[in-house]
Amino acid sequence: MMVDGQIKTATRIVRRTAEDSVQHVSADICVVGAGISGVSAALEAARLGRKVALVDGLPALGGQAVNSIIGIFCGIFSNGTKPYQFTHGIATDILRDLGNAGALHYRGAPYNVVMYDEIALSRWIEEAIRKAGITVILGAVLRGVVMDGRRVTALELATRYGDVRLSATGFVDATGDAALVWQAGLPCREPADGTVYGSQMMVLEGVDESKYPDRDKITERIRDKAPEYGLIRRDGFAFIHPGRGTALVNMTHVETPLEPVAASAKALEGKEQADRTLAFLKSEFPEAFGNAKVRAYGFPGIRQTRWIVGKRQLTVDDVRNGTKFDDAIARTAWPIELHDRAEGYIWEPFSDDHVHYVPLGSLTPPDADNLVAAGRCIDGDLAALSSVRVMGPCIAMGAAAAHALDMAGTNSVHDIDVKQLQARLHHNLESKVYL
């Protein structure tokens, strides 16, 4: 501080006291997890006029969509050459605003995925949350959940700046690992046998787009050459973002354990795999990747680890048959994409007219009245979850969670009028806005 031309360097001595130990925050709806499903839930709840708190363990918003550099919106549109939009709400806002900014690339049929610039998405999320007046608590570790009978009443959070006790009327578990449900002592599911692998994503720059090889050539070469480069996975992609000289690369498989020491070790292993992948691309396709270098590594990308036990479990037969549940709240047509082995994964696509649905019962633990899950920790079998854990249905699930808690108020989400909920969500269930 400068006073009368002199620099003042005074300090004071402080000491932590018991009175300073816990900060109290209250909200109508608390969302734990600031990935795409949690952001959708928080913004939808705020638009409903609710006081919202959004909590995340990372020091930044966006979850995997931003920080793991997923880079692709999947499951927002139907399959085929005449796609229509399955999911609306913030999905429509994001597509509009990032499209206007030139930060999207539509890849077209058969799956109609949309590539996005992760920095643009990050800033969109941050500004949307800020303008909505949502209370944000970042870098917060969930240490405990306070229950009163069938209701969650408060969360106990630890941050580097001190502890927080967050009270709310309703709660959304959008953590991806069912951390809130788990800490509440409610039953959860984990894979019984084997591992569902995650990926270490990276963005390359300095790619020569004009020399980019066909994806099938990359896949064929990696199957033949993987042992030579020490690569674990024998497939994957390196998608070019046209006009930018960048490529989004997903060619790794990494275990994602729910144990701190092992998880940290696997995070380092993932980057080593990514480096081997870059060496493969530079050596095998030098015209396209010879001058490429890593612009960014994502955080470890996680697919399926732990999820809730809901009133209803979504099954692979429900997905294949396109079962339209009486309590449906979201839809998609994304293939079954089960990464259950290190060298590859199961890919089971659907026809152009296929639609499958997510029931509200898969979002609601039966033993809690004011708790709704959203995103990849809803109840489903391994294969079913692999087809609904992508961006489109996750956005729709977040919106459904917000509306269910808004309708329940101080009562139970199990007693709300489902038809009224579906009327609120009709754009995500019935409308056909063609791309």
Residue 15 lies in a domain: no
Domain co-membership, 249 together with 391: no
In a domain, 226, yes or no: yes
Q: Are residues 177 and 218 in the same domain?
A: no
Position 4 in a domain: no
CA distances 172 to 95, 168, 229, 293, 364, Å, are 25, 10, 43, 39, 10
The closest alpha carbon to 375, from 350, 355, 400, belongs to: 400
Looking at the fold, whether 31 and 145 belong to one and the same domain comes out as: yes
CA 113, CA 108: separation in Å to the nearest integer?
7
Q: Are 72 and 114 in contact (CB under 8 A)?
A: yes
- Report if residue 127 sits inside a domain: yes
**Which region holds residue 138: left if phi is over 0, alpha if psi is between -120 and 50, else beta?**
beta
Both 322 and 269 in a single domain? Answer: no
**How does pLDDT run across 338-396, given as a tens digit for each residue?**
999 999 999 999 999 999 999 999 999 999 999 999 999 999 999 999 999 999 999 99
Look at residue 17 and tell me if it is in a domain.
no
Q: List pLDDT tens digits, range 28-47.
A: 999 999 999 999 999 999 99
Residues 211 and 360 in one domain: no
Structure-block tokens of residue 55: 């909590």
Establish if 13 belongs to a structural domain.
Answer: no
Give the chain's mean pLDDT. Answer: 96
Assess whether 255 and 389 both reside in one domain: no
Q: Single out the residue in 239, 266, 297 at which a domain terminates.
A: 297
Spatial CB neighbours of 231, under 8 Å, sequence gap ≥ 6: 222, 225, 251, 273, 276, 277, 280
Same domain, 328 and 227: no
Residues 250 and 180 grouped into a single domain: no
Q: What is the DSSP letter of 165?
A: E
Secondary structure of residue 418 in the 3-state scheme? helix
Q: Taking the mean position of all CA atoms in its chain, how far away is CA 19? A: 37
| 262, 279, 297 - which closes a domain | 297
Residue 193 binned pLDDT confidence (cut-offs 50, 70, 90): confident
Residues 151 and 235 in one domain: no
User: Each residue of 51-94: pLDDT tens digit?
Assistant: 999 999 999 999 999 999 999 999 999 999 999 999 999 999 99
Using the predicted structure, report yes or no on whether residue 5 has a pLDDT greater than 80.
no
Q: HSE on the CB side for 272, CA within 13 Å?
A: 8
- CATH number of domain containing 420: 3.50.50.60
Mean pLDDT of 195-204: 96
Residues 211 and 179 in one domain: no
> 225 and 326 share a domain?
no
Which of 86, 74, 89, 75 is CA-nearest to residue 42? 89
With contact defined as beta carbons under 8 Å apart, do 266 and 200 qualify? no
Going by pLDDT thresholds of 50, 70 and 90, the confidence category of residue 20 is low
**Residue 194: other Cβ atoms inside 10 A:** 10
- Model confidence at 1: pLDDT above 80: no
User: Model confidence at 194, in pLDDT bands (50, 70, 90)?
Assistant: confident
- The answer as to whether 6 is a domain residue is no
Q: Please give the model's pTM, rounded to 2 decimal places.
A: 0.96
Distances 275 to 15, 200, 271 between C-alpha atoms, Å: 46, 10, 6
> Could you give the CA distance from residue 182 to residue 37 in angstroms, rounded to a whole number?
18
Domain final residue, candidates 269, 297, 325: 297
- Number of structural domains (the chain) is 2
Residue numbers of the domain that contains 279: 202-297
Calculate the alpha carbon distances from 422 to 163, 202, 276, 345 in Å: 38, 38, 48, 34
Statement to judge: residues 224 and 182 lie in one domain: no
Q: What is the pLDDT of residues 258-308, one digit of tens each?
A: 999 999 999 999 999 999 999 999 999 999 999 999 999 999 999 999 999
In a domain? residue 3: no
What is the per-residue pLDDT for 10?
Answer: 86
